[in-house]
Amino acid sequence: MARVCVIGAGSWGVALALLLHTNHHEVTVWSIDEQEIRMLDQEREHKSKLPGIFLPDEMQFTTDMEKALSGASIVVLAVPSPYIRSTSAKMKEWIGKGQIIVNVAKGIEESTLFTMSQVISEEIPQADVAVLSGPSHAEEVGRGLVTTVVVGARSRKTAEFVRDNFMNAVFRVYTSPDILGIELGGSLKNVIALAAGIADGLGCGDNAKAALITRGIAEITRLGVAIGGKKETFSGLSGMGDLIVTCESRHSRNRRAGMLIGQGYTMQEAMDQVQMVVEGVYSAKAAKALADKYQISMPIVEEVNMVLFEGKSPAESLKELMHRDKTEEYRQLPWD
Eight-state DSSP code of residue 334: P
Contacts of 40 (CB under 8 A, 6+ apart): 9, 14, 29, 31, 46, 55, 61
Contacts of 39 (CB under 8 A, 6+ apart): 46, 47
How many Å separate Cα 3 from the centre of its chain? 24
| Ordered strands of the 128-133 beta sheet | 60-62, 26-30, 3-7, 74-77, 100-103, 128-133, 147-152, 171-176
Q: Measure the CA–CA gap between 262 and 284, rounded to whole angstroms.
A: 17
Residue 61 has a CB neighbour count (10 Å cut-off) of 23
Q: Measure the CA–CA gap between 194 and 177, rounded to whole angstroms.
A: 29
What is the SS3 assignment for 147? Answer: strand
Strands (E), the chain: 3-7, 26-30, 60-62, 74-77, 100-103, 128-133, 147-152, 171-176
Burial readout 115-126 (b: 16 or more C-beta within 10 A, e: otherwise): bbbbbbbebbee
Active-site residues, by number, are 189
How many Å separate Cα 118 from the centre of its chain? 15
Residue pair 15/50 in contact (Cβ under 8 Å)? The answer is: yes
What angle in degrees, to the nearest 10, is found between the helix axes of 253-262 and 179-202? 30
Longest dimension (CA), the chain: 70
The HSE-up count of residue 327 (CA atoms within 13 Å, CB side) is: 11
